[in-house]
Amino acid sequence: MKAHNFSAGPCILPPEVLRQASEAVINFDGLNLSLLEISHRSKNFVAVVEKTQALIKDLLDVPAGYSVLFVQGGASLEFVMVALNLMKKDGGKAAYTDTGAWAGKAIEEAKRQGEVVVVGSSKDKNYNFIPKGYEVPVGMDYFHCTSNNTIYGTQMKEFPKVDTLMVCDMSSDIMSRKVNVADFDLIYAGAQKNMGPAGATIVIVKDEILGKTGRDIPAYLNYKTHISKESMFNTPPVFSIYVMMLTMQWLKDNGGVEWIEEVNRQKAELIYNEIDRNPLFKGTAEVEDRSTMNACFLLNDESHTETFNEMWKAAGVSGINGHRSVGGYRASMYNALPLESVQVLVDVMKELEKKVG
């Protein structure tokens, strides 16, 4: 029996994607060579990069004038690259929301390059809500937000309209719901939640915003390098990109982002209804800001912890321990997690109530 994997990441992948990926590791494209031992400049692999870019553009309706890039270093390197590419060398200033540990790390990196104005923060409530109603001061080089806060289970349902460049870390909810890419100037995401294995980071950037900071940016860290070299400036993470292509094809074949958004809505509704109904549990995030990707909850009475843990493990559930800064449980429900897995977890929660409630 395959585990019901609620891990916060790296992601889970659809079984057919895992099968196709393992076949390509032995024999890629009928070449009798492994995907892992072909040149990244061979026409077969260049075709993989192009197809992956085309699928992402198609699935997210990326408008003309934007580039889709594959880089390495995870979203963590994007914290640095965003600041280097968008913050002016002299007197650079950017506005950030502080909605969790990852947003905090993005802020720390930006502070190395210029001034950061934190315009909205939920830090004093252990990040259990999404700040709203803030003003972004004039004169900012850009505004940065985190669409989904993986650790705390909060998610932006709406994005503010700002009079500066709009930058978003979508690492943990990209491809899970429709977003209007034209409302953003730069979107980045580590691939490893909804798009594929760790190793590749995707950046969707409006070309015209680049090259305006007056900085001498190191080649790898300059988005323009990756645009001009078509994401082949150095050896790309071939396996990650290939599996991303398979995962994006799986998404498209099943009905695209609109389809998965509805599936994700059903999964979230199922678990949150149980968290709210079952007197043994309580959710940690403010209801209106609850994430469809990561549901965080606690046992009201911690003396049931051992019993509950034994029960979900016996049901084949894995990866639901909460992050240490929130405690309790976190059920991460990325795209490839089927509704049935959420039902299994909900059934265990109901059984616990029968047993000890």
Sequence ranges of the binding site for L-glutamate: 41
Stretch that binds ligand PLP, among 127-135, 164-172, 267-275, 348-356 (CB under 6 A): 164-172
The binding site comprises 41, 75-76, 102, 150, 169, 192, 234-235
- Applying CB under 6 A, which of residues 114, 120, 153, 190 lies at the interface with ligand PLP? 190
Query: CA-to-CA distance for 167 and 185, rounded, in angstroms?
Result: 6
Phi-psi sector, 270: left (phi>0), alpha (psi -120 to 50), beta: alpha
Q: How many CB atoms within 10 Å of residue 285? A: 26
d(Cα 42, Cα 310) in Å, to the nearest integer? 50
- The number of residues that bind ligand PLP (CB under 6 A) is 11
For ligand PLP, the nearest residue by Cβ is: 74
**Residue closer to ligand PLP, measured from CB, 164 or 172:** 172
Amino acid, single-letter form, for residue 163: D
- In the numeric block, the tokens 């790898």 are attached to 220
User: Strand pairing of 165-169 and 186-190?
Assistant: parallel
Rounded Cα distance, 114 and 92, in Å:
5
- Let me know if 102 is a catalytic residue: yes
| 171 lies in the binding site for ligand PLP (CB under 6 A) | yes
User: Known catalytic residue: 276?
Assistant: no
Q: Which of 69, 42, 76 is nearest to 244 (CA)?
A: 69
Tracing tokens 């046992």 back to the chain, one arrives at 299
| Nearest Cα residue to 292 out of 259, 334, 255 | 334
Instruction: Please indicate whether residue 301 is annotated as part of the active site.
Output: no
7 binds ligand PLP (CB under 6 A): no
Sign of the CA dihedral with 214 first, then 215, 218, and 222 last: negative
* Contacts of ligand PLP in 111-150 (CB under 6 A): 146, 150
State which of positions 66-95 bind ligand PLP (CB under 6 A): 74-76
Task: State the residue for tokens 């395959």.
Answer: 2
Of 5, 7, 9, 143, which one interacts with ligand PLP (CB under 6 A)?
Answer: 9
Min CB(338)–ligand PLP separation in Å: 22
Tell me how far, at minimum, the Cβ of 80 lies from ligand PLP, in Å. 11
Residue 196: alpha-carbon gap to chain centroid: 11
Task: Output the smallest distance, CB 94 to ligand PLP, in A.
Answer: 17
Which residue in the list 141, 173, 185, 193 is annotated as catalytic? 193
141 versus 169: smaller Cβ distance to ligand PLP: 169
Contact footprint for ligand PLP (CB under 6 A): 9, 74-76, 102, 146, 150, 169, 171-172, 190
Q: Which residues are catalytic?
A: 102, 169, 193
